[in-house]
Amino acid sequence: MRSAQELQVLSKKDDSILLEASWGILNATQTRESWQSLSIQFNCKNSSLDATLLGEKDSIYLVKIVNGSMEVAEPDSFGSPKQFQFLLQCLQMTATIKADQSLLVTLIVPLQEGYIVRSDIIPLRLRDSEYFEVAVSFAEPLQQYPGREQSLDDRADIATSFSAAAAGLILRRIPGSILSNRETTLSISVESDLDNRLSLPWITPGTPTAKTLVLVDANSSHPEDGLGLYMAAKALGINVVVLENSGSWLEKEEHAHWRDAFIPTRLTNPPQADVGDHIVKSVLAYGKPVDGIVTFADSFWPYIAEIAPQLGLKTASPQAFKTATNKYLTSKFVGHNAYNGFSLDDALGIVSQHQLQYPLVIKPCDGWSSEGVSRIDSVEYLTDAVRAIDSSRHGTEFVIEEYCEGPEVDINFILLDGEILFFEVCDDFPKSADINGQSVGSLTNFHELNSVYPSILPHQEIELLRDSFLDTLLKLGIKDGIMHLEGRVQDSTVEYKMKNGVVDLVAAEDQSKEPKAWLIEINPRPLGMTGSYVVESTHGIDYWGVALALAVGDKERVRVLSQPFKAGPQYTCVMVFIPVDYPISSQGIFDSDDVCADLKERRPDLAKQISRSACLIKKGQQVPHPSTGRNTFLAYFNVFSREGRQRALELANEVRAEVRYSFI
């Protein structure tokens, strides 16, 4: 460490010394073109600090001691309240460590002149890093940086270094370790991790321009459900104009900071024929220029595409979206033997007239979350399957087609001008209605169970899915957007079987046929918020942020934000879905507290392997039974392992088995 400089935290009440610490630059990178990392070491000399005082800035002041001279360090000299608060956090943590230990901190300093691609890009890319316990962004949306390298000599000033930084990182502390035993190894590993995660050009040359985006449908019924979208908009500096029915949480003044405007707009789902007129009136009522329009409720897209030219905006054609968002039209477009109907009599007539062979699949044409999707193995099940479609949510139109036996996948594209910027596949494990699936309670519908990222399908089959589904999108005329497709590989060379105690893909016994890509559905949007979290942590890409940048035509930032980690996925991640299941005789009232918090408290070993989780139902809430056609998730857990897929699946099984809940 270069020569240490002293810091003191003093009480404004009586000038008593609450903390004496030293800091110094351990090293700094000089080889990168666009950013510099400053590695700083904090040591505690003595402390009587009450940690709560660091949150009361009016009760303390900070003194720098340089060459024997004392100088009060004004909070403003650190650049912003964010930088100063981070320093106080570092000092608070320093006060808790032993005299022979150190707190290691890394500051990330931009060396390139320009603006930050999104203000939270560094914490976003560092999620679940092995090396960093804390990652804090100091940046404001669209903040510009001069790109000046920091001095590395003994005269380096802590305030100057902090004020130049875009983010601060605190290294994960290892109990019982001392710096001298791990400094060299840590330095190499940390720098390698940073190079991998921050390999994208996160400082963009030029002067940023604020954009305004119209969002049709608020995308969530409560702030707990959907803040991720609005947080991404904030970080990108995109103003959001929300078009939604009156009464939404976003209409309330307490949530006004999440949007530029809220315009009450009559929206129904399924949409009524005049919804486009309502959208146009609302946008014109806003009275200011807008740069784009977007929805994440698939059924609105055909109507938005029809009225977009009136607003001077571009989208794919109405017919492209009509075909993509209607499961019958999608199946016919790709050549499936598909039939649509509107009643039980229609369904019985279709099966009889066309002498369809079982198994079959029936699903609503305007559906989501696999609701109303049933596998039919004989005519006796057809009546229940039709009645399981909730027409109030999905309309009366349904499609009947053959069931594909192959392994199911989710396929996600980021497209720009017809070019694939990013593409990934996840293995969507057998659902509750699949023959080879695991038995989960009494569920017989297509409820999600496990989704595993990344896929281990053979490379040739992944290429087959990519090329086939891209061809379908381009033929439809869809060249831009984040496209979430679901499909299967018919006659795949792999199949699901029990392997080493877990169900996973293994070589199929029959490999005599040529694999074919089987498209199930197209969703012109990112996968759900919870699913997108897996992609964000596994690959470093936030689909929702990219979708917003795409919607306002910010192609430069789209290209930057679509770049994954340089070294590939950081781990195997399993999204474990916990579906609601209870006896049909029950009242269906949830009678437990937060099942995720409960599991983590009981099993701290498992908690360490959970990236994100959420309990989606509150105690006392009445929940529809799955037999009503509603697929309701009780909770989800994103479970990861760096040891490999086998270990990730084992952990996922443990998590599922440890969930405790009850209904009355």
Residues 238-275 have pLDDT tens digits of 999 999 999 999 999 999 999 999 999 999 988 999 99
pLDDT at residue 173 in the model: 78
The pLDDT value given to residue 500: 84
- pLDDT, tens digit (0-9, with 9 covering 90-100), for 126-142: 999 999 999 999 999 99
pLDDT score, position 629:
65
29 against 152, higher pLDDT: 29
> Do the beta carbons of residue 436 and residue 406 sit within 8 Å?
no
pLDDT of residue 513: 96
Nearest Cα neighbor of 331 from 495, 444, 114, 485 is: 485
Mean pLDDT of 561-569: 98
Distance CA 311, CA 271 (A): 20
Q: How confident is the model over 112-129, as a mean pLDDT?
A: 97
Q: pLDDT exceeding 70 applies to what percent of the chain?
A: 93
Q: What is the pLDDT of residues 492-521, one digit of tens each?
A: 999 999 988 899 999 999 999 999 999 999
Task: Return the pLDDT at 544.
Answer: 96
Q: What is the per-residue pLDDT for 338? A: 97
Chain-wide mean pLDDT for the chain? 91
For residue 46, pLDDT beyond 90: no
Distance CA 3, CA 169 (A): 22
CA 605/CA 593 separation, integer angstroms: 21
pLDDT, residue 332, reads 97
β-sheet bridge partners, residue 452: 427, 574
The pLDDT score that the predictor gives to residue 435 is 42
Q: Which helix (H) or strand (E) holds 227?
A: helix 223-236
- pLDDT tens, residue by residue, 330-350: 999 999 999 999 999 999 999
pLDDT band at 186 (very low <50, low <70, confident <90, very high): low
Mean pLDDT of 595-613: 98
Measuring CA to CA, which residue among 287, 280, 249, 286 is closest to residue 266? 280
Three-state DSSP at 531 gives helix
* pLDDT for position 184: 54
To 10 degrees, what angle do helices 595-602 and 645-658 make?
110
pLDDT tier at 194 (50, 70, 90 boundaries)? very high
Q: Convert the pLDDT of each residue in 57-110 to its tens digit.
A: 778 889 998 777 889 999 999 999 999 999 999 998 998 887 778 999 999 999
Residue with tokens 């002041």, as numbered in its chain: 61
Task: Provide, rounded to the nearest whole percent, the portion of the chain with pLDDT above 90.
Answer: 74
Based on the number of CB atoms within 10 Å of its own CB, is 29 exposed (0-12), middle (13-18) or buried (19 or more)? middle
d(Cα 446, Cα 574) in Å, to the nearest integer?
Answer: 18
pLDDT band at 626 (very low <50, low <70, confident <90, very high): confident
Question: What is the pTM for the complete model shown?
Answer: 0.92
Asked whether the predicted pLDDT for residue 438 surpasses 50, the reply is no
* Residue from 188, 138, 217, 174 nearest 26 by CA: 188
Q: How confident is the model at residue 444 (pLDDT cuts 50, 70, 90)?
A: very low
More confident residue, 184 or 7: 7
d(CA 388, CA 628): 6
Q: What does the pLDDT read at residue 176?
A: 47
What is the predicted pLDDT for the residue at 175? 52
